[in-house]
Amino acid sequence: MAVATLPIRIDHAACTECRMCYVVCREIDLNAVTIAPDPLHRFEIDTGRCLYPGCTVCLMYCPAPGSIVEAASGRSLVPPPPEVWTAERRVARRAS
């Protein structure tokens, strides 16, 4: 069964490049946050791998308000809006 996702992106004007989104996304083995091959090597979100709104780990760890936004609307997701952080929207952990 496919999971419905919404594209999100990094707002480079607000991003502090702390790498938290990159680290936590790798930690849960999604690898949806990548380093762009452009000369600035900015962080990008791979919409083919990102599971938002099912996964919100990058939003929870990001310290920079406004740095992660919904792609279509531009709505800020940092800090996470209350409706984003609900039990029914979380992805279950894989059994080890």
HSE (side-chain half, CA atoms, 13 Å) at 48: 1
CA distance 80 to 69: 10
Looking at residue 74, its amino acid is: G
Q: Does pLDDT of 95 surpass 70?
A: no
Decide if domain 8-89 falls under CATH 3.30.70.20.
Answer: yes
- pLDDT for residue 4: 75
Does 2 have pLDDT greater than 60? no
- Cα dihedral sign for 41, 47, 52, 54? negative
pLDDT tens-digit series, residues 57-79:
999 999 999 999 999 999 999 99
Please give the pLDDT value at position 1: 45
Q: In Å, what is the CA distance from 5 to each residue of 2, 31, 46?
A: 9, 16, 12
Q: Residues 23-56: pLDDT tens digits? A: 999 999 999 999 999 899 999 999 999 999 888 9
What is the reported pLDDT for 44? 97
